[in-house]
Structure 1
Amino acid sequence: MSPSALLSRLAWINYVGLGTLGVVALIIFGSYTPEDERRWLALGVIGVLTVLLFLDDRLIRRPIVRHSCYILTALALLALIALNANLTGFVIIGFLLSGTAMASLPPRAGYLWILLYGATTLLYTTLIWPGNMQALLSALGILAGYLFMGATIDAQRKAERAEAEAQLLLAKLQEAHMQLQESAQQAEALAVAEERNRLAREVHDTLGHRLTVAAVQLEGAQRLISHDPVRAAQMVATVHTQVIEGLNELRRTVAALRAPLSAEVNLPAALLRLARDFETATGMEVELRLADALPTLTSAQRQVFYRVAQEALTNVQRHAAASRVRVTLQQGDDEAVRLTLDDDGCGLPAMPAPGFGLRGMTERAQQIGAQLQLGNSALGGARVELSLVVGKAAVASEVT
C-alpha cells in the first residue's frame, strides 16, 4: 500500500474510530462519580483499545500477531465489564471493534470475532439484568447491529477490491490496446515494404528486361550502321518494338498492377513467345523443351515461372557471353514441375554477387513455396533451376 493510500485509510477509518473513542471515553469517564477511582482504570483500558485500533492490518502482516491484538481487545472488553463501565460506551466500542475486525481480517475470521464480541455483550447485559429476558433481547439486538456493521464493512471491502481489479484490468487493456496499435503500425509498414518490393520486382523484370534488350540492340546497330545499314535498321526496329513493349508493360504495372501473364494463357505458350522474342532481339539460339502436359498451376505460380525465365534470360544476355540457351519445362517423377535454363557462356563466378535480379527470383520462388537453385550447366555455362512440388506447394496469393 502506498503512503497516500495508507494515509487515506487512516483518515477514513482510524481517525473516525479515534474520535469515536474520544466520545466514548468522555461517556464512560463521566458515568463514574468523582470519587470513583475506577474511572481512571477505564480510561486506561480505552487508551489501550485506541492503540490497538491504530495498528493497521498492513503494518501487522503475521496472522498470529494480528489475532493476538484482537485477543487483547477482548480482554479489554472484559476489563470494562469488571470495571462496570457504562453500557452505552461499551456497545459503541463493540461496534468499532466489529468494523475493524471485518476490515482487517478474512470474512470468516471477522465474523467469528464479531460473534465473540456479541457473546461478551451478552455476558455484560446478563450481569446488568440477571435473570431478565431483557438482557438476552438486548444482547441479540446489539449482536445484530455488530453483524450489520461487519457486513457493511465487508461489502465496502469487496467493492474496493472490485474497483482495484477493474483498474488493473483497465491498465492491462490500455497496454494491450497500445500493443495492438503498434502491431497494426508494424503490419502496415511491412505491407508497404512488401508492396514496394513487389513493384520493384515487376519494374525490374519487365522494364529492366526490355531496356537491356534495347541497349544491346543499339550497341549492335551503332557498330553496323556504317557498313550494314539494313541490319542496323532491323536492330533499331527491334529496339523500337522493345521500347513499345516496355512502355506498355510499365503502364500495366503502374496503372492496373496486373500481371503481364494472363490467367487464360498457359505457361508453355508464354515461354514460347518469350523465347522467340529473345531470339529475335539477341540473335542467340534458344532451344525449347516444353512438356506436352503439366499439372494445373495457379496464376501466381505461372507468374513466378514466367518471371524467373524472363530474368534468367536477361542475365544470360547481360553477363553470360553465350550463344545458346536451353529452356526446359517438365514434370519430374517426384511430381515437381521444373523450369531449367542452361547456357553455354562463361558460367557463374566463384562468388556470385547477390544482385537485385537474383534476389527477386529468390523472393518470387519463396512466395509459392518453390526452390531456386544456381549451378553449372552441362552446356558449359550457368544453370538456373526452379522446382515446385505442386501437391505440397504453399497456397500463394494472386500476384497482381
Structure 2
Amino acid sequence: MSRQVGLSLFWRVCLINTAVFLVGVVLLAATPATISSPVEASEVFLLAGWLALIVAANAMLLRVVLSPLDRLRQLMGDVDLLRPGQRLPEEGNGPTSALVGSFNAMLTRLEAERATSAGRALAAQEGERRRVAQELHDEVGQSLTAVLLGLRAVADRVPPDLAPEVLAVQETARASLDEVRHVVRRLRPGVLDDLGLVSALTSLAGEHARLTGARVHRRFSPSLPDLDDRVELVVYRVAQEALTNVARHAGAGCVELELTETGEGAALLLRIADDGRGMDGEPEGAGLRGMRERALLVGADLSFSTNGIRGTDVRLQIPLVPGPVTP
C-alpha cells in the first residue's frame, strides 16, 4: 500500500478547532451586538448561544473526521481470522483513511499467515494420524489377531468347565480388534484413498446410522467434478466432524447428507442437516473452529444455521472456478 502524505490527525484537529473559533469570532464581530461591563442578562444569553453554536459546529466537524476511528475500534473488537474478509471502507485520503488502510492490510497479512500456519499444522496432523493408524494396524491389530487365533486353538482343547471363560476372553479380544479397526478408519480413511469421496461419505453415513440408529438420507450429484486430494480430504473431515457433533450433541432421528454442485458448476456444496437439538447460544467449540480452519485451506465458505427446534444445518461451499486459494 502506498504511503499517504498529509497533515497528521493532531494538526487536522487543531486546524478544525481554530477555524471554527475564528469563524465564530468573525461572525460575532460582524454583528451589531456589544458586550457591556458589567455584562447584562441579555448579553449572557447571546454569548451562551454563540458558544453553543461554536461547540456544536466543532463537534460535527470532529465527528466527520474521527468517525472512521470508531468503526475501526469496533472492528478490532469483533474481528475473527477464521471469518476472513472483514474490512473497513477506505474513504478519502486523510490520516484516518491511511490508518484504516494500514489496518486492512494488516488483516490481509494476518489472514494469509493464519491460513498458511493452519495448513502446515493440519498437514502435520494428517501425517501423524497416518503414522498412528499404520502402527495400530500393523502392531496392535496383528497382535490381537494372533491372540484370537491362539484362543481359537486353545478353545478346542480346554476342559468343558473352562470353555465359557475362554469364549468370553475370545469375544473381548474380538471386540478390541474391531475397536482398533474402527479407530484406524477414523484416523485415516482408507476408503477415501481407495474408492473416492462419494464412497467415503457413504461409509460415514452408514457408520453414523449403525451407531446412532438415526435415518441418514444421502444425495450426491451423479457427475461430480474431479477434485484434488486436499479438497476431498477437507470435505471428508468436515462431514466427519459434523456427523460426530450430531451423534454427540443433537440426538437427531434424521440426518441429511448432500454433496451437490451449485451455480451451474461454479461451486461444490456439502450439506449436513439434522432434526435434533440446535446449538442456539452455545459458543463454538474446538471442533467447529477446526472445521473453519479446514475450510480456509481451500478457499471455502463454511456456515452454520441452527434452531433450537429444527436442529442444525452445516454448509460447506467450495468454489470450483479459479480463485484465491491459500497454499
> Larger relative contact order (C-alpha < 8 A, sep ≥ 6)?
2
**TM interval, short-chain normalised:** 0.3 to 0.5
Scaled by the length of structure 2, the TM-score of the pair is 0.46
